[in-house]
Amino acid sequence: DARVTQTPRHKVTEMGQEVTMRCQPILGHNTVFWYRQTMMQGLELLAYFRNRAPLDDSGMPKDRFSAEMPDATLATLKIQPSEPRDSAVYFCASGLWGENQPQHFGDGTRLSIL
Amino acid sequence: GNSVTQMEGPVTLSEEAFLTINCTYTATGYPSLFWYVQYPGEGLQLLLKATKADDKGSNKGFEATYRKETTSFHLEKGSVQVSDSAVYFCALGLSGDGGYQKVTFGTGTKLQVIP
C-alpha cells in the first residue's frame, strides 16, 4: 500500500533552534495537510495545500512557522525559532481534492524542544 | 461553527464485549462523516465513512450509521479484540468556499481491550 512518509520520526533539540520536518505525500495526491497533535489541544490543522499552493494556513503561528511545497513530492514544515510549547507530534496527511475524500496520514514526527 | 463531540475515554472492555463509541456533530451544512483509528506510534487511518443520511459505513467488523435526525454517527462493533486497542476519532468533512473539504476531528476516544 502507498504511504505518506515523514522524516524525521523523532527530533529533540534546544529552544531557539530551527526545526525542519519533511513529508512525502502519496504519489498522485493533490492535497497535503499539516496537523499538530497534543494531549491538551488534540489534533489541530496548521496548514494545507492544493496542487502545491497554500490554501489555508490560519492555524499556524505565522511569526515562527512556515510551510512550503517545493515540488509535488515534498512538503516541509519549519519552525524558527523553536520554543518548548512547540513540543508535539506533527502529522502530514495527503489526499485527493473533492468531497468525501479521506486523508491518508503519515506516522508523524515527535518533536521535543528542551 | 462545525464541531464533533465524542464520548470521554478511556473505554475499557473485555475481549469479545460489545463496543459503542458515541459521536455527535454540529455542522452548517450537509457533511460527510468519518471514523479514523490511531494505533500507538502511528498516524490516523481511515476506518469507515458515510456520505449521506442513513448510509452505513463498515470495515473490519466496525459499523456506524449516519443519523441526520439525531446528528450522530456512533461507532459499534459486536465483539472487540485486544488488537482493537487504539484511539478512535470521529470527524466530519464539509465543503467550503472554493470547493475544498475541511475536516473537523473530535478529541478522540481511547479504547483498551483486555484479554
Q: Which of A45, A102, A108 sits opposite B49 (nearest CB)?
A: A102
What's the pLDDT band for B19 if we cut at 50, 70, 90?
very high
* B94-99, Cβ contacts within 8 angstroms, sequence gap of 24 or more: B94/B2, B94/B27, B94/B28, B94/B29, B94/B30, B94/B31, B94/B32, B95/A99, B95/B29, B98/A55, B99/A97, B99/A98
- pLDDT at position B100, please? 62
- From chain A, pick out residues whose CB is under 8 angstroms from the CB of B49: 100, 102
Whether the upstream peptide bond of residue A84 has omega within 30° of 0, thus cis, is no
Distances, alpha carbon A72 to alpha carbons A21, A32, A95, A100, in Å: 16, 10, 12, 22
* pLDDT, mean over chain A: 93
pLDDT at B90: 96
| pLDDT of A58 over the 90 cut | no
Using CA coordinates, name the residue in chain B closest to A49: B100
| Residue carrying C-alpha cell 475536516 | B103
Q: What is the mean pLDDT of chain B?
A: 92
Say whether the peptide bond before residue A61 is cis (omega within 30 degrees of 0): no
The pLDDT tens digits for B59-97 are 999 999 999 999 999 999 999 999 999 999 999 988 765
Does A108 lie at the interface with B, CB-CB under 8 angstroms?
Answer: yes
Would you state the pLDDT for residue B30? 85
A96-108 tens-digit pLDDT: 887 778 899 999 9
Give residue B98's pLDDT.
Answer: 58
pLDDT category of residue B99 using cuts at 50, 70 and 90: low
Nearest by CB to A105, from B45, B99, B101: name it. B45
